[in-house]
Amino acid sequence: MSGQWSDDAFLDRLRQIGDPAADQAVAGLIAAGRTKDVSAIFKTMRANDDPLPPDAPQPYRDFAAAFGGLPPHLDVERLDRGGAAFYRNALPAVVAMLASSLPRGYAAPCLSEILTISNDLENRPFNRLMGVVQLLINLSDTGAFAPEGRAVMTALKLRLLHAGIRTIVPRYRHHYREQYGVPVNLEDMLATIMGFSWLIVDGTQRLGVPFTEQEAEDNYYLWRVFALLMGIHPEGRPHDWSYIPETLSDAAEFYASYARRNDVRTAETNPHGVVLAQDNLRMMEHFVPRPLKWLGFRFAPQIWMAEMMTPDEMALVGVKPLVGHTIIKTLLAGVLRLGRSAGHHWVFATLARDILQGMVDFDRGGEATFSIPFTRLDLRKKEFC
């Protein structure tokens, strides 16, 4: 491949770009002593048409006013189809996220080192998962990308959250910028978005329960729009798509380049990623009901990982592929096929959405609203998992 998405010079530039507008807003909040006000604002404002509180700090107002928002000429119907495609395929999609997207991300130290700054987050994988699930819901609900939808507000919050992380990283990872570039840079953000789009499409295909071609394209379109909202564009050109892979083929090329550039050579050189992957594996095993564990289904997570990752990829995060277990593999494949077939009935697709939101509500005491971390202790709170 010789396209832009495997061009190291281009990707090196992305690695040195953060989000200057969000960074300026967070610096202003710190200088004004208004850091404690932001969490209350984030809990109040959940959709793009929620009015700003009259006492909102000026740096927040300035960032919200300058925020590029939705690009023109969007295909809103296609965005809704992309969200519906996720709910129709919710069971295999969540399996792909847990057993492929997350552990593949942990193979990159530039990501795993940031995720473990709190010295606590790595031991709470379920809490972090619920934050990810809330993100998926915020983007997949009908009307999420309408002018008054939740996707725009979610992007604004996450951009400020990332800016907060960029202020923390130098205190606890002194070597980070020299070794990996700007914390939470455009290359890393793009890889994370590809993890929730391209890797899920790829993972479900490897599991034998793929999205249809139209579902895959529509869902990827949704994530491309969200990537633009997240600031993945040339500075000062908020509606310029040139930093975002246009097709699923381009996305595959980019992610292969990202893995080549960022994945470790051995698990020993990525201890943070190994811890995250092992805790993620234990969390998946915990989801298996005890009676099924007695029947051998406690191996289901490793079996699914082996279906979607190569032995070398699994080794990078300290997980060994399992040999055998043919009967269990056959039964698991049947469960996924049944889940996918059921999801294509609107009743079950709606139920999948309600179950996912119910999990978040149970863990968080309500919808996850996100906020800005200003200290390492902040990262231990549920808003940042």
**Which of these ranges, 70-74, 259-263, 333-337, has the smallest mean pLDDT?**
333-337
- Taking the C-alpha atoms of residue 203 and residue 134, their distance in angstroms, rounded to an integer, is 21
Q: What is the pLDDT confidence band of residue 1, given thresholds at 50, 70 and 90?
A: very low
Asked whether residue 378 is domain-assigned, the answer is: yes
Report the pLDDT averaged over residues 185-198: 97
| Averaged pLDDT of the chain | 87
In the chain, beta strands by DSSP E? none
pLDDT tens sequence across 28-74: 988 988 877 777 777 766 666 667 788 888 998 899 888 878 999 99
- The more confident residue out of 99 and 125 is 99
Asked whether residue 80 is domain-assigned, the answer is: no
Flag whether pLDDT at 23 surpasses 90: yes
Q: Sign of torsion, CA 173 111 4 220?
A: negative
In this prediction, residue 385 carries a pLDDT of 47
Asked whether residue 69 is domain-assigned, the answer is: no
Q: What is the pLDDT confidence band of residue 383, given thresholds at 50, 70 and 90?
A: low
Report the pLDDT averaged over residues 76-95: 93
Flag whether pLDDT at 376 surpasses 70: no
How many separate domains does the chain show?
Answer: 1
Token representation of residue 196: 């929730």
Residue type, 212: T
Token representation of residue 205: 């295909």
In this prediction, residue 362 carries a pLDDT of 66
Report the pLDDT averaged over residues 229-256: 95
**Which of these ranges, 163-177, 206-220, 295-309, 348-362, has the smallest mean pLDDT?**
348-362
* Residue tagged 């989000």 (tokens): 19
pLDDT tens sequence across 293-316: 888 888 999 999 999 999 999 999
Asked whether residue 257 is domain-assigned, the answer is: yes
- Taking the C-alpha atoms of residue 328 and residue 67, their distance in angstroms, rounded to an integer, is 50
Task: Count the helices and strands in the chain (H runs, E runs).
Answer: 21, 0
- Taking the C-alpha atoms of residue 225 and residue 151, their distance in angstroms, rounded to an integer, is 10
Flag whether pLDDT at 207 surpasses 90: yes
The Cα diameter of the chain in Å comes to 63
Asked whether residue 235 is domain-assigned, the answer is: yes
Token representation of residue 335: 């469960």
- The more confident residue out of 171 and 370 is 171
pTM, 2 dp: 0.90
In this prediction, residue 189 carries a pLDDT of 97
Asked whether residue 292 is domain-assigned, the answer is: yes
- Taking the C-alpha atoms of residue 255 and residue 369, their distance in angstroms, rounded to an integer, is 29
Token representation of residue 255: 């992610």
Which percentage of the chain shows pLDDT scores above 90? 53
Report the pLDDT averaged over residues 274-298: 88
Flag whether pLDDT at 358 surpasses 70: yes
DSSP element (H, E) containing 323: none
In this prediction, residue 315 carries a pLDDT of 92
CB 107 within 8 A of CB 313: yes
Q: What is the pLDDT confidence band of residue 122, given thresholds at 50, 70 and 90?
A: low
Q: Which of 357, 340, 353, 341 is nearest to 84 (CA)?
A: 353
Report the pLDDT averaged over residues 207-217: 95
Asked whether residue 121 is domain-assigned, the answer is: yes
Asked whether residue 31 is domain-assigned, the answer is: yes
In this prediction, residue 141 carries a pLDDT of 92
Range of the domain at 15: 4-46+87-384
